[in-house]
Amino acid sequence: MNLKLLSIFLIISHIVFYSCTNISARAKSNSFKINISVKDKDDSVSIPKSECDPNLWKYVYDAQRLQVLDKCKVVTGVIEETNADEDGDQHMLLRLDKGQKDLLTKKNKTKKQGDLVIEAVCINNIIRKKAIGACTGYVNHVQLPGVGDHVKVTGSYVIDTHNGWAEIHPISKIEIIK
């Protein structure tokens, strides 16, 4: 392997080190082949975008405050708290299963007891005057879990820029794990 190809391989290896399980290289004449096997850094999974309903964004109150990090993400954990928000959403705190803690921000740790915020839109009566009209024409049929339920949640992974914490918002799907 010539020095130039080896340098390229080392640079690429360094860049993808934290997201790969296996890197191998082979040089043949003037060609260079790199095989990379990718793994998730945590136990959460990015899934096909078809699993999340992009139409839900039409019903998110004040959507511009949410910075989308992943349009469709699956996380698992235990519901620690659940309550109706004034904007019609159901606001829940999810204690993430092992291996997903890197999804949390400092604000999740200090303001949300180390939990991930998850929100189902348009599932309750809207009390906040500014939010009235946000859910017009939509009825959410997500089955809400109870406190203590172990769940698999699918939705958009975002940062709430007004509060600084990470969320799954809006939730497209919740499944209770038995």
Question: Which segment of 5-9, 61-65, 80-84, 158-162 scores lowest on mean pLDDT?
Answer: 5-9
Closest by CA position to 72, among listed 162, 173, 143: 173
Q: Which fold has domain 45-176?
A: OB fold (Dihydrolipoamide Acetyltransferase, E2P) (2.40.50)
Kindly report, residue by residue over 72-115, the tens digit of the pLDDT.
999 999 999 999 999 999 999 999 999 999 999 999 999 999 99
Q: Is the pLDDT of residue 128 over 70?
A: yes
Q: What rounded mean pLDDT belongs to the chain? A: 81
Which tokens in the block code for residue 36?
A: 């990379």
The Cα–Cα gap between 76 and 84 comes to: 21
Q: Higher-confidence residue: 147 or 130?
A: 147
- Burial of residue 57 (CB within 10 Å: 0-12, 13-18, 19+) is middle
Q: Note the pLDDT of residue 2.
A: 53
> Cis peptide before 54, with omega less than 30 degrees from 0?
no
Residue type, 85: D
pLDDT 10s digits, 55-74: 999 999 999 999 999 999 99
For the chain, what are the domain ranges?
A: 3-38, 45-176
86-121 burial: b if 16+ Cβ within 10 Å, else e: ebbbbbbbbebbeebeebbbeebeeebeebbbbbbb
CA 173 – CA 178 distance, rounded (Å): 16
Q: Mean per-residue pLDDT for 43-62?
A: 76
Q: Determine whether 25 is exposed, middle or buried from the number of CB atoms within 10 Å of its CB (0-12, 13-18, 19+).
A: middle
Confidence of residue 51 (pLDDT cuts 50, 70, 90): confident
Query: What gap in Å lies between CA 28 and CA 102, rounded to an integer?
Result: 40
Mean pLDDT in residue range 152-176: 97
Tokens 């082979």 found at = 26
